[in-house]
A = this chain, B = another copy of it.
Amino acid sequence: MPTRTVFFVSDGTGITAETFGNSILKQFSIQPRHVRMPFIDTVEKAHQVVEEINRTAESEGRKPIVFTTLVNEEVLSIVKNGCKGLVLDMFMTFVEPLEAEFGMKSNHRVGRFSDIARSQEYNNRIEAINFALAHDDGQSAKNLEEADVILVGVSRSGKTPTSLYLAMQHGVKAANYPLIPEDFERNCLPSALVPHKAKCFGLSIAPERLAEIRNSRRPGSRYASLENCRYEVAAAEALMRREGISWLSSTHRSIEEIATTILRDIRPDRLVY
């Protein structure tokens, strides 16, 4: 297949544009080359972008695809009018109908993130990340009352990445607490969790998948054996069922899907978008 290049041109980081552009490109059976061009915020840089796109167009003999989220009108018009690519303007395409519907002009403010580092929303995210790290794997039962959600489940069921994602993406304070063989023998929740049962959310996993994950870390151990994984998963599910803790299986779900499902369930008041 001949090469096709996709440019992501943004005044800011371009991360949102690239993530979104990618989910659209995945609808096609092509494997384009990606070029990210962040922080394009001057006329001079815009001209450099146009040059690079046009050089690519020439050498590949086909139109590059150009996703832009440029907010500055002058910069945008240089790219739009000067380049020989297919320009998909992810900004004005939606801003125009919104201006009409709201009956107001948009403020064309560059850099969604420029002043964000000091904002309350941003501080909440950082605080939530620190909280997730301090409360990873049942490390601390302190301040569990501050948690928006406490993820429970057997070791390696996906609790850690999910709690970090909830913090990073949504500013949600997620602790996580493992369910271990001692809990199954005693046949009750770890005592630190009892007062917070209402905000516990369980992760389960298919024993076969769990054994695979554990084996890659501790090959051949009893911990990783399919027999032990079967026992732990069954015991954890029985415990959660008895305690009335809802859970989902992480086996075929991405972190994003798990996080979305949890948020729908717990509906925290404070949510960062």
- A residues sitting closer than 8 Å to B (CB atoms) are 12-30, 34, 36, 38-39, 63, 65, 69, 71, 86, 88, 90-91, 93-95, 97-98, 101-102, 104, 106-109, 112-118, 122, 125-126, 129-130, 133, 136, 160-161, 164-165, 168-169, 250-257, 259-260, 263-264, 271, 273
Contact = CB atoms under 8 A, between A and B. Distances in A.
B63 A126 contact: no
A133 B98 CA distance: 42
Contact of A27 (B13, B15, B109, B273): B109
A177 B89 CA distance: 40
Given A19-B273, A264-B38, A98 B256 contact: no
A13 B260 contact: yes
A112 B257 CA distance: 10
A102 to B, nearest CB: 6
Tell me how many chains of this kind the complex includes: 2
Nearest to A217: B130
Contacts of A136: 133
